Amino acid sequence: MYADPNDMNAIRELLHEILRNDPAPVHLGIELGEIEQGRVTMSLTVEDFMANGHGICHGGYLFTLADTTLAYCCATAGAPIVTRNAEITFTAPAHKGQTVTATATRRVSFGRNQICDVALEADGVVVAYFTGQGTTPPAPKTQVQA
Run of H or E residues at 2: none
Backbone angles phi, psi at 35, to 5 degrees: -130, 120
User: pTM for this one?
Assistant: 0.92
Buried b (16+ CB within 10 A) or exposed e, 45-69: ebeeebbeeeebbbeebbbbbbbbb
CA separation for the pair 118, 113 (Å, rounded): 16
Give pLDDT tens digits for 124-135: 999 999 999 999
Q: Where are the domains of the chain?
A: 8-135
Give pLDDT tens digits for 73-123: 999 999 989 999 999 999 999 999 999 999 999 999 999 999 999 999 999
CATH fold group of domain 8-135: Thiol Ester Dehydrase; Chain A (3.10.129)
Give pLDDT tens digits for 22-72: 999 999 999 999 999 999 999 999 999 999 999 999 999 999 999 999 999
At residue 1, the pLDDT reads 78
